[in-house]
Amino acid sequence: MVSIYIDMDDVLCESNQTFLNILERDFGKKADYEEITAFDLKTSLDLSDDEYSRFFESIHDPDEMIRHKPAAGAKHLLDLWHDKGYRINVLTGRPAVAQPVSLEWLKKHDFKFHGFSIVDKYNRKSSRGDSSLTLEALSRQNFDLAVEDSGAMARFLSEEMGLQVALVDRPWNRSFSFNANVHRCRDWLDIKEKFENLS
């Protein structure tokens, strides 16, 4: 059976867009999306340690997380994959405590999926919980395609696990170079053109 790995933030939802709104509203800082050239927001947004810890807390407030906008075209392709009988697995590096709001968000936007896991992708204490996966445990799973925006994760998936990766083009993954398993896609329409049919 075809099995697909799908990341959540900045793949299924436009998380960094919400984060920029929070940054302006709560911190009085205006930043442009194209300025997010590093995956680490503390670096990209030039925040002090104190600002970053408050910001990290704000952006993981369930009342904010539920408001993320779905990425255009994502639901359409997931529905097509679902109808073909492909197994859809959502694997996110969010903090373990964000599991309930993540599931609520997927339900709110009617995303169909078979599996949901928190994975400690970025070596963060917050992503380690009783039911979360380590990268080592993840690497024992098999997928026919992975959809990611993180350059570091795209490298892990393509190099360590040998997977085909649809990399959603974002300013923070443009400086990476990848092997031939990684396919840069401008949006979900592009992913559909390249990967609608898998076998």
CB of 47 to Mg ion, least distance (A): 19
Q: Which stretch binds Mg ion (CB under 5 A): 37-45, 116-124, 143-151, 159-167?
A: 143-151
The residues, any chain, with a CB within 8 Å of residue 17's CB and separated by 6 or more, are 33, 68, 69
Q: Are 161 and 155 in contact (CB under 8 A)?
A: no
Site for Mg ion in 148-177 (CB under 5 A): 149
Q: Which CB sits closer to Mg ion, 7 or 14?
A: 7
Count of residues binding Mg ion (CB under 5 A)?
4
DSSP 35: G
Cα–Cα dist 42/57, whole Å: 13
Q: What is the DSSP string of 86-109?
A: -EEEEEE-S-GGGHHHHHHHHHHT
Q: Which CB sits closer to Mg ion, 23 or 173?
A: 173
Binding mask 2-31 for Mg ion (x = CB under 5 A): -----x-xx---------------------
CB of 27 to Mg ion, least distance (A): 22
Q: Which of 102, 105, 109 lies closest to 75 in space, CA to CA? A: 109
Q: Which CB sits closer to Mg ion, 83 or 176?
A: 176
Q: Which residues bind Mg ion (CB under 5 A)?
A: 7, 9-10, 149
